[in-house]
Amino acid sequence: MRNIVILISGSGSNMAAIVRVARGDDWAARWGARIVAVVSNRADAGGLRLAADEGIDTCVLDHRQYPTRDAFDEALAERIAAYDSVRCPALVVLAGFMRILTPGFVERHRGRLLNIHPSLLPAFPGLHTHQRALDAGCAVAGATVHEVTSELDQGPILAQAVVPVLPGDTAASLAARVLSQEHLLYPRAIAAWLEQRTAD
């Protein structure tokens, strides 16, 4: 069984989309994969309620309760490791998880740590991606699913979705257009990752 742990900090709309597709497309039957836990670093993350309603384990690890970034990441890694199965370490999916992870955490989860970023990487790593795309006069914008490495937003690209930038767009209208594509892209990219691991 391949367990999937999703990390969130906010509304969790990507997490919800992944949960919906995993159920609808029966990832359990196809790849022996199931979403077992949603972990948030913020107690007020809206996605927590949604995950609990779906019968998924939820947990809050408040980063402010830890003296150092390393201590928080160690606690997070231990929590995730509780979901490793005997022959199969958990797949870790970052879905709006607003923390920079330490190199030690990234190394420990190498090859099974995925993120979605709201730009067409390698353009616009980091924050405020939509405003930066508008300021640069881009005709298109989009989102990228990538493997996480210790360089922020620079790991191998797994999948991308492109949307047009329309006249009169604001950062908010562009973010909404991109987000609606993220909800299609991320489940598809995870499914492809699982398919690939099953074929190996």
List residues with catalytic annotation.
117
Q: Minimum distance between the CB of residue 72 and ligand GRF, rounded to whole angstroms?
A: 19
Cβ proximity to ligand GRF: between 86 and 127 the closer is 127
Cβ proximity to ligand GRF: between 63 and 197 the closer is 63
> Three-class SS string for 19-67?
HHHHHHCCHHHHHCEEEEEEEECCCCCCHHHHHHHCCCEEEECCHHHCC
The Cα–Cα gap between 104 and 161 comes to: 30
Residue with nearest beta carbon to ligand GRF: 96
Q: Minimum distance between the CB of residue 186 and ligand GRF, rounded to whole angstroms?
A: 8
Count of residues binding ligand GRF (CB under 6 A)? 14
Q: Which stretch binds ligand GRF (CB under 6 A): 19-27, 76-84, 115-123, 152-160?
A: 115-123
Among 96, 142, 155, 187, which residue sits at the site for ligand GRF (rule: CB under 6 A)?
A: 96
